[in-house]
Amino acid sequence: MSIFSDMESNIRSGKKLFFLLIDPDKVSFDGLDLLLGNSHTGLPDLILVGGSIISRPLDPVVEKIKDISSLPVFLFPGSLLQLSGKADGILMISLISGRNPEYLIGNHVTAAPLIKHYGLEVIPAGYILIGGSVSTSVEIVSHSHPLPAQKPDIIVATALAGEYTGNSMIYLEKGSGADSPVPASLVKKVKEEITVPLVVGGGIKTIEQADELYRAGADVLVVGNAIETHPEFLAQMRELSDKM
């Protein structure tokens, strides 16, 4: 069974999942040891590695994670430079909220032969960037405008289009550095209309926000910055997702 098939099975049974997003530029090997190496509880279901812009190769970071943890590691690439054959798989992200062809298909064509060579498990993900009060790294790097949260009909239609064009999951993203998460009311509206797993990330800083998003319909929450600055948030997220 593939990692994604196992995830889907858990989600269908009502289980809530959470992923830890690790930016190679923001974590040290010692930091990884503290987060993942000394605990058998409080761990995420999957680790994503990547960022909008990185200044370090991914291989050493992925290898370190694999050395200290048995968790699956997937790439969350912000560019073609963020590929590694050391990972288990990759989120093949199509930025369907924008109209920049490089982030819809261009980068994917260039990367596909190498992804096949590495034998990575691929999860196609329709990525929808939701606007906030500050510009995020994703918005700037991708040269695409986010969809305003005040236009739920457009966001729902975009999510449906993402599902109908073959994406295995829909990912609502506020972006790294967002001042607040995706509104729970918007998560609820999207979840009511799509049938594939719904992933929500960006701006999640408190366990109360996470609880609200799960209850609104998020199947998977992705947390990064909050855990980097407050490692105890990792165990809190594990406890919350397990009891939902």
Q: Which residues contact 186 (CB under 8 A, 6 or more apart)?
A: 130, 149, 152, 155, 172
| Nearest Cα residue to 231 out of 64, 46, 54, 27 | 27
Domain count, the chain: 1
Partners of 32 in the β-ladder: none
What is residue 184's predicted lDDT score, i.e. its pLDDT? 98
Q: How far from each other are the two terminal CA atoms of the chain, in whole angstroms? A: 25
What is residue 225's predicted lDDT score, i.e. its pLDDT? 79
CATH of the domain at 222: 3.20.20.390
Residues of the chain with pLDDT under 50: none
- Residue 117 structural domain: 3-243
What is residue 178's predicted lDDT score, i.e. its pLDDT? 79
